Amino acid sequence: MAGLEAAAAGGVRRPGRQSAAGGLAWLVAGRSSNIALSIVTTAILSRFLTPQQFGQLVPVMIVISLSMAVFDGTFGVGIIRSPKLDRERVRIALGNCLLVAVILAGALVATSPLIERFFHFDRLAELIAAATSVILLRAVFVIACAVLQRERRYKAISLASLVAAPCGSLLVSVPLAISGCGAWSLLLGTIAMSAVETAIVSRKARLPWRVTISRAGLSELGATEGFFALNQLLNWAALSSTSLVAGHFLGLAQLGYYSRSWRLLDIAVSATSGPMQRVLVPIFAGLQDGGSAARATFERALAVAVPVFAVTGTFACLHAEAIVRALLGKQWLAAIPLVQILFSALVARCGYKVSESVLVGFGRARSAALRQFVYLVALASGALIAVRWQSAGVALSTSIAVWLFYALSLGQAVRLLHASLSRTIMIHARAAALAGGLLLFHVLAAVAVARLSYWSGEMVMAIADALFLGFVLFTAPSWLVDSVLRAMIRQRGRAI
């Protein structure tokens, strides 16, 4: 692939011919490998770090995610949606993004003592100051990743993640945690991973060494992508609000329980719906005529995503205790109800990636910002009300807000594409029936293993649940399993 060199002479590099399924397969494969690694490192780190130490890192990760919201919502989306991408445009985007990164890093260092006082965490300002290095790295990463996304070079993105993740976790975080470095082990691992991943994607995208800072470029970006940036910032504020409430009112331990429970949910989200959105956004951006192709793509994506996430979330709820014991250890048993509550909203948490991909790809940034504002209000107000019930109350209010946001997003996507409302409802009804069937089977089968030891019974039940799901998905009638999902399962089965 020639990269941007051909574009330097005024040519336009067109996206590759890679299909949505192929791109998603590469991203899911890369993410799945990282998830396996993340599971291993989570199991190790949770046995050497306390809930309080994990809680210390939460404000730092909020700061890092702020930078991603700013960069991805403006510069990243700008590159993906640009009608013409040449080397000069990339040079300007990179220069302006780095300028914003430097300003943001300086502002965070200056305000870090105030953030420390808000959370009541000693020496938090030092962690935030060190985390600003990640902000500078992510500025470069976002531009490189956007170029690769535009060209549909998902393999390069996946390979970068595959190399960077073990460098940050196994080579840095785990040894430092074992040696007693506490929250610093997590932060230094994040810095190492960001550095390696940024270096790889920058090379693959052939980013220019010379950058240009352009006021005109910033003005144009603000005019065209300003609402996308606002959308990302509101999403960051919404997702951060619950941790802000828990950290301020409940302290380090409760924040640690909540953050680790959310992390388990995030593992499932990032393994599937994260790469799914990376693939769907540029695809829907190329289908902005709103014709039958966009509608068919949307309905097919829903028909696969909703039932898969429904049964996955139900499975996780049923086996939450085993998940917590295996991944986090006995000191984290208080997180079991939080995991169950959060995974009960997995369909909404992952499903809205499909509807939001439509709205972002079609440039509906104004309405997206309004939905994100409603999401922010629902999450923040719900957490403030529910904080009296500790972290479990915050988790419950979070799940309710996620379902509300999904309903709003899905409704607008259906109206925009003139999709079939009855088919959309039927997709969700089938998913609910599958989840209900799994729940009923689990309750009945649990009677047969009641006399087994805990882990023996859990293993038998997990295998039985998986076999039941496989049997249903392959043999159930069309009114229960959508033809699109069945065709995909059979195709994957033949490939294996």
Mean pLDDT in residue range 411-432: 94
398 near 344, Cβ under 8 Å?
Answer: no
Q: Which of 128-132, 334-338, 424-428, 487-491 shows the lowest mean pLDDT across its residues?
A: 487-491
Of 265, 245, 269, 264, nearest to 255 (Cα)? 245
The pLDDT-based confidence of 75 (bands split at 50, 70, 90) is: confident
Identify the helix (H) or strand (E) that includes residue 175.
helix 174-178
- The answer on pLDDT for 408 being more than 60 is yes
The pLDDT-based confidence of 329 (bands split at 50, 70, 90) is: very high
Residues 6+ away with beta carbon under 8 Å from 187:
57, 60, 127, 130, 131
Tell which wins on pLDDT, 73 or 6: 73
Mean pLDDT (the chain, rounded):
86
Mean pLDDT in residue range 65-76: 80
Tell which wins on pLDDT, 125 or 483: 125
pLDDT of amino acid 8: 36
The pLDDT-based confidence of 156 (bands split at 50, 70, 90) is: confident
Cα torsion angle, 140, 141, 147, 150, sign: negative
pLDDT of amino acid 159: 85
- The answer on pLDDT for 5 being more than 60 is no
Alpha-carbon radius of gyration of the chain: 22
pLDDT of amino acid 13: 44
Task: Specify the pTM.
Answer: 0.83
Q: How many CB atoms lie within 10 A of CB 152?
A: 22
- The answer on pLDDT for 152 being more than 80 is no
The pLDDT-based confidence of 25 (bands split at 50, 70, 90) is: low
150 near 22, Cβ under 8 Å?
Answer: no
- The answer on pLDDT for 9 being more than 60 is no
The pLDDT-based confidence of 188 (bands split at 50, 70, 90) is: very high
The pLDDT-based confidence of 231 (bands split at 50, 70, 90) is: confident
Residues 6+ away with beta carbon under 8 Å from 181:
188
Q: Which of 139-153, 211-225, 261-275, 357-371 shows the lowest mean pLDDT across its residues?
A: 211-225
The CA dihedral of 272, 403, 319, 178, to the nearest 10 degrees, is: 60
Mean pLDDT in residue range 356-371: 82
Tell which wins on pLDDT, 287 or 214: 287
Share of the chain above pLDDT 90, in %: 56
Residue 474 amino acid letter: F
Residues 6+ away with beta carbon under 8 Å from 213:
92, 95, 96, 99
Tell which wins on pLDDT, 378 or 148: 378
Integer Cα distance of 229 and 373 in angstroms: 13
Mean pLDDT in residue range 245-264: 94
Q: Tokens 């960077």 map to which residue?
A: 164
Integer Cα distance of 283 and 288 in angstroms: 9
Task: Give, as one character, the DSSP assignment of residue 180.
Answer: T
Integer Cα distance of 494 and 391 in angstroms: 45
Tell which wins on pLDDT, 198 or 8: 198
- The answer on pLDDT for 399 being more than 80 is yes
pLDDT of amino acid 222: 52
Residues 6+ away with beta carbon under 8 Å from 58:
243, 247, 255, 256, 259
- The answer on pLDDT for 90 being more than 50 is yes
pLDDT tens digits, residue range 162-177?
A: 899 899 999 999 999 9
pLDDT tens digits, residue range 240-249?
A: 999 999 999 9
- The answer on pLDDT for 1 being more than 70 is no
405 exposure class (CB count in 10 Å sphere: 0-12, 13-18, 19+): buried
pLDDT tens digits, residue range 280-300?
A: 887 887 887 757 888 999 999
Which conformational region is residue 42 in: left (phi greater than 0), alpha (psi within -120 to 50 degrees), or beta? Answer: alpha
Mean pLDDT in residue range 208-234: 68
Mean pLDDT in residue range 363-381: 87
Q: Which of 17-26, 370-379, 486-495 shows the lowest mean pLDDT across its residues?
A: 17-26
Tell which wins on pLDDT, 49 or 478: 49
- The answer on pLDDT for 356 being more than 80 is yes
